[in-house]
Chain A
Amino acid sequence: MKQPRAERADIGLLLEGTFPYVSGGVSSWVNQIIRGFPQFSFALVFIGSQPEDYGEMKYALPDNVVHLETHYLYNQHAAPQIRPVHGNPATFGEIKRLHEYFRFSDLHPDGTETFRKIVPELSAHGVAGLETFLYSHESWEYIKENYRKYCTDPSFVDYFWTVRSMHAPIWMLAEIAGNFIPVRAYHTVSTGYAGLLGALLKEKTGRPLILSEHGIYTKERKIDLFQAQWIKDNRNVFQRDPTEISYFRQLWIRFFQAIGKRCYDSADHIVALYEANRLRQIEDGAPPQITRNIPNGINVPRFSPLRAQRPVLPPPILCLIGRVVPIKDVKTYIRAMRTVVNRLPGAQGWIAGPEDEDPGYAEECRELAEGLGLSENIKFLGFQQMTELLPRIGLVVLSSISEGLPLVLLEGFAAGVPAVSTDVGSCRQLIYGLDQEDQSFGAAGRVVGIADPQALAEAALELLTEGASWRAASEAGVRRVEAYYTQEQMFASYKSIYDEATTWRE
Chain B
Amino acid sequence: MINPKLGAAALSLETSGLLSISLMTEGSDWALLIFLLQHAGASALLALFVWRFLPGKYRHPRLRVLALLFNFSFFIPVLGLLGMLAAVFLSAYWRRTMVAQPFARLILPEFVLSLREPDARFSLGCIKSRLAQSAIATPQRLQALLTLQGMPARVSNPMLQDMLGDASDDIRLVAYGLLDSREKKINAQIHLELVKLKTAKGSNIRLIGLRYLAELYWEQVYTELVQGDLRAHALRQSLSYTNDALLLAPLDTGLWFLKGRILLEMKIHDDAYQIFGMAIAHGFPESRVLPYIVEIAFNRRDYRTVRDLLSRISILQVTPRVKGAIHFWVGKPENSGDSCANESGV
Contacts and interface: CB of A to CB of B under 8 A. Distances in A.
A402 B150 CA distance: 26
Nearest to B177: A227
Kindly name the residue among B118, B143, B144, B174 whose own CB sees the greatest number of chain A CB atoms within 10 A.
Answer: B118
Given A367-B191, A454-B228, A241 B121 contact: yes
B233 A338 contact: yes
Contact of A244 (B118, B187, B190, B191): B118
Contacts of B173: 223, 401-402
A402 B169 contact: yes
Given A226-B177, A364-B187, A454 B229 contact: yes
A238 B230 contact: no
Nearest to A216: B169
Contact of A243 (B115, B117, B147, B179): B147
A451 B228 contact: no
A389 interface: no
Contacts of B118: 152, 241, 244
Interface in A228-249: 238-239, 241-245
A161 interface: no
A454 B227 contact: yes
A242 B115 contact: no
Interface residues of B toward A: which range? 20 to 34
Given A364-B187, A450-B172, A338 B116 contact: no
B169 A368 contact: no
B164 A152 contact: no
A109 interface: no
B116 A150 contact: yes
Contacts of B174: 223, 226
Interface in B144-185: 144, 146-147, 149-150, 164-165, 169-170, 172-174, 176-177, 179-181, 184
A453 B227 CA distance: 8
Interface in A351-386: 364, 367-368, 371-372
Kindly name the residue among B121, B147, B228 whose own CB sees the greatest number of chain A CB atoms within 10 A.
Answer: B228
B230 A149 contact: no
A74 to B, nearest CB: 23
Nearest to B178: A227
Contacts of B58: none
Interface in B217-239: 227-230, 233
A244 B230 CA distance: 34
B97 interface: no
A152 B115 contact: yes
Interface string B119-159: 00110000000000000000000011011011000000000
Contact of B230 (A241, A280, A338, A364): A338
B233 A219 contact: no
Given A149-B116, A152-B116, A368-B187, A242 B230 contact: no
16 contacts: A149-B116, A152-B115, A154-B115, A242-B122, A242-B150, A243-B146, A338-B229, A364-B184, A364-B187, A367-B187, A372-B230, A402-B173, A424-B169, A449-B164, A452-B164, A453-B230
Given A152-B117, A243-B121, 7 more contacts: A223-B174, A241-B121, A280-B169, A326-B180, A339-B229, A367-B187, A402-B173
Interface of B: 114-118, 121-122, 143-144, 146-147, 149-150, 164-165, 169-170, 172-174, 176-177, 179-181, 184, 187, 190-191, 227-230, 233
